[in-house]
Amino acid sequence: MASQVFGALVIALCGLCHLSNGLSVRIEPAQRELLVAEGSREQLKCIVEQHMSKDDVIEWTPGNSDEEQRSEKMNSDGTYTTTLTLTIPSFSAARETYECSVKPVGGGTEGQSAILLVMVKEDKPEPVFYFGNETIELYCTTGLTEAKLKGWFKGDEQIEDGEKYKLNSTGALKIMKLDRDDAGLYTARYDLTNQVNKTYDCIVEYKAGPLVLDMDKSINKVEGDSVDIKCEVKGWPHPEITWLKGKEVLKEKSGSIKFSPNSEVANATLTLSDLEYDDAGTYTCRAYTKEFNETNEKSIKLRVKDKLEWLWPFLGIIAEAVVLVLLILFFEKIKKKGDRWRGRVVSASDSRSGGRGFDSQPCHVAVVLGKQLILNFPSPSTCKMGTQLQAILEFVICACNILHMGQKLPSKLY
Q: Which of 6-20, 158-172, 211-225, 320-334 is the least confident region?
A: 6-20
The arithmetic mean of pLDDT across residues 101-112, rounded, is 78
Q: Summarize the confidence of residues 325-352 as an average pLDDT.
A: 58
pLDDT attached to residue 183: 94
Domain boundary among 273, 305, 337: 305
Query: For the chain, what percent of residues have pLDDT higher than 70?
Result: 72
pLDDT at 355: 41
pLDDT at residue 54 above 60?
yes
pLDDT at residue 87, rounded to an integer: 94
Q: Is the domain of 193 the same as that of 237?
A: no
Distance CA 284, CA 305 (A): 20
Backbone angle region of 263, left / alpha / beta, with phi > 0 → left and psi within -120 to 50 → alpha: left
Pair type for strands 173-175 and 136-138: antiparallel
Q: Domain limits at 75?
A: 2-120
| Cis amide bond preceding 380, omega within 30 | no
Q: What is the pLDDT of residue 130?
A: 85
Rounded mean pLDDT of 235-249?
Answer: 95
Q: Which of 250, 273, 305 is the last residue of a domain?
A: 305
Q: Using an 8 Å Cβ cutoff, are 285 and 268 in contact?
A: yes
Average of per-residue pLDDT across 318-340: 74
Give the residue from 9, 24, 178 showing the smallest Cα distance to 110.
24
pLDDT given at position 357: 40
pLDDT(207) > 60: yes
Mean pLDDT across the stretch 267-278?
94
Res 226 pLDDT > 80: yes
Assign 333 a pLDDT band (cuts: 50, 70, 90).
confident
Reply yes or no on whether the pLDDT at 119 is more than 60.
yes
User: Beta strand 111-120 with 95-103: parallel, antiparallel or unpaired?
Assistant: antiparallel
How many domains does the structure of the chain reveal? Answer: 4
Lowest average pLDDT, out of 17-31, 69-83, 134-148, 294-308, goes to 17-31
Q: For all residues of the chain together, what is the average pLDDT?
A: 79
Same domain, 320 and 398: yes
Residue 344 has pLDDT above 90, yes or no: no
User: In this predicted structure, which of 133-137, 142-146, 165-169, 302-306 has the lowest mean pLDDT?
Assistant: 142-146
Do 324 and 398 fall into the same domain?
A: yes
One-letter amino acid at 354 equals G
Last residue of a domain, one of 62, 92, 120: 120
Instruction: Look at the pTM and tell me if it is higher than 0.75.
Output: no
What b/e sequence results for 265-290 when a residue is b if at least 16 CB atoms lie within 10 Å of its CB, and e otherwise? bebbbbebbebeeebbeebbbbbebe
For residues 121 and 319, the model is more confident at 121
What distance in Å separates the CA atoms of residue 10 and residue 33, rounded to the nearest whole number? 12
Residues 6 and 116 grouped into a single domain: yes
Q: Are residues 37 and 112 in the same domain?
A: yes
